[in-house]
Structure 1
Amino acid sequence: MLFKGKMGSGLQDEEEKMKCLLCNGEMEKATVAYTVDRKGYHLFIEEVPAYVCSQCGERYFEEKEVAAIQDMIEALEEKLQAILVVA
């Protein structure tokens, strides 16, 4: 799953740190790779902004990143339909 819970408006008070929903560890802003394997293709995207748990490594993406990735996947699947061989 790409998106795990709503990240909020993106603005946070320095005193109020975001906590991981799985382990309650502290979330830190970082960039991560995102991969998806589907029948007919493998998509790898480098340096996607995300919140990463410093304790367990769980990743959370904000809504705008999720929407952009979903749009890419949808466009790729539409283009692939034009070239895939149907048996």
Structure 2
Amino acid sequence: MRCYICDGEMRKVKKDVETTWKGRTILFRGMDVWVCGSCGEEAYEPDDVRLMQGLVQGTLHRPEYPEVVNVEEVADLPGEQPDGV
């Protein structure tokens, strides 16, 4: 895969990704991330983005929510993925 910023070579690595949405911060452990070896730009697979969005949005209606999500543990659990993933 080539970087869309600098055309450098990208490689897939496992990485922790922290995201904040509507004031809620969640750390996703073990995400697959494409990282450019030249400029450091990061990219995600569309299915992984949908998974993160669905899990974060799903926490908005709960008074308590997970601060850390281990992606490898929840990826195969029924009911943990948003529709269409």
TM-score exceeds 0.5: yes
Q: CA deviation at 1:31?
A: 1.2
Contact 2:15 2:30 (8 Å CA) reproduced: yes
Equivalence for 2:27: 44
> TM (normalized to structure 1)?
0.64
More strand by share: 2
Cα root mean square deviation, aligned: 1.8
Contact 2:21 2:56 (8 Å CA) reproduced: no
Note the residue ranges of structure 1 that are not aligned, 5 or more in a row. 1-17, 82-87
AA paired with 1:60?
A: A
Matches within 5 A, 1:21-60: 21-60=4-43
Percent sequence identity is: 27
> TM (normalized to structure 2)?
0.65
Equivalence for 1:15: none
Q: Which has the larger radius of gyration?
A: 1
More helix by share: 1
Give the direction of change, closer, same or farther, for the CA distance of 1:74–1:38 in structure 2 (3 Å limit).
Answer: closer
Number of aligned residue pairs: 64
Q: Any idea what the Cα deviations from partners look like across 1:2-48, whole Å, max 9, x if unmatched?
A: xxxxxxxxxxxxxxxx1101111101011122112345432111110
